[in-house]
Structure 1
Amino acid sequence: MNHTNVDYYMAGFDAAGKRVGSLICDFDPDKNPKKLAALKEKAAGLFTDAIVVEVTTTEDYNKYLEGYVRGSDGKPIPYVAPEPTAEEKAASEKAALKVEYEANKKEMLDALQAATLAGNAEAVTSIQQDYKDMTTAYKEAVEGVK
């Protein structure tokens, strides 16, 4: 699908190849080198995050609008999200442990309240010990996340 009515764009790309901006190039860049240089200079001044500023065809421009990024060969390639860092993986694992811990803690609190209301001292003692054990296990699990 054609998203535009022009043939060329001057586009700026950041270090990751993501398009940071573009300007309409309403002339044939091959036939107008002076206009091309002026448009490139204007784009470079506007797109301060751009590492590369270059002319793209409408076909390539449309791909950038669809989420493609500039490949090392200067052509659009599908964006592939980077693998999470070790820190991001650890943070995610810790967050999952916390969610599980909080859910278990709530269940234990509900059970403790029910046992207390029923006057079941044996169940209260058992739940309190289970809570202590769970808290210790949770702390050890969080500390074990690298």
Structure 2
Amino acid sequence: MVSNVGYYVAGFDAAGKRVGSLIFEGKLSDNKDVAAAIEKGKAAFEGAAVVEVISADDYSLYLSGAYVRGENGKPVKYVAPEPTETEKKAVQQAELTADYKAQVAELTTALQVADLNGDADAKASIQSDFKDLQASYKEGMEALK
């Protein structure tokens, strides 16, 4: 990224994600300019755990979203955390529920057709399948608790 800006003041949350940035308008060699810019950043970036002056190159990396501030203060590739057991169970429950609803819809359609045809044997079979489906769904959800 080509820029006429050399440095930025950036705020980062505790996880190292950039929460905001401002153009650094002072001289990097002047400690007063740096301190004033950092104070301005602290006031501007709510939730920032760290506020510092960074290079335009580092700013470009953070802006991409593919990098976060590492413990050494330099950009590192962002690695998404592994899902928690609770999150994994929630996904499994959602999948089980979606599958259950799709099967209920199929059985409902089949039952309506059997009813319209006056086919008592087919209705009884579909109702039995529905009871089995309900029991299986309940068992699956209990297993995921």
* Structure 1, 39-48 or 104-113: larger mean CA deviation: 39-48
Partner of 2:18: 19
Distance 1:141 1:42 in 2: 54
1:69 is paired with a residue whose SS is: strand
| Pairwise CA RMSD | 1.0
Partner of 1:140: 139
Partner amino acid for 1:140? E
TM-score (structure 2 length as normaliser): 0.95
Q: Can you list the C-alpha shifts for 1:23-71, whole angstroms capped at 9, x where unaligned?
A: 1112331x21111111111111211211111110010000011111101
Residue 92 of structure 1 pairs with residue 103 of structure 2? no
Distance 2:6 2:119 in 1: 80
Q: Can you list the C-alpha shifts for 1:98-131, whole angstroms capped at 9, x where unaligned?
A: 1000000011011111111111111100100100
Partner of 1:106: 105
Partner of 1:73: 72
> 4+ residue stretches of structure 1 with deviation over 2 A?
none
Is the contact made by 1:13 and 1:20 (CA closer than 8 Å) also made in structure 2? yes
TM-score (structure 1 length as normaliser): 0.94
Distance 1:56 1:87 in 2: 37
Q: 2:40 aligns with which of 39, 42, 56?
A: 42
Is the contact made by 2:9 and 2:52 (CA closer than 8 Å) also made in structure 1? yes
Count of paired positions: 144
Q: 5+ residue gaps in structure 1?
A: none
Distance 1:101 1:141 in 2: 10
Fraction of identical pairs, as percent: 53
Is the contact made by 2:27 and 2:33 (CA closer than 8 Å) also made in structure 1? no
Distance 1:15 1:92 in 2: 27
Distance 2:126 2:71 in 1: 60
Distance 1:53 1:144 in 2: 46
Distance 1:106 1:77 in 2: 48
Is the contact made by 1:7 and 1:26 (CA closer than 8 Å) also made in structure 2? no
2:114 is paired with a residue whose SS is: helix
1:73 CA drift (Å): 1.1
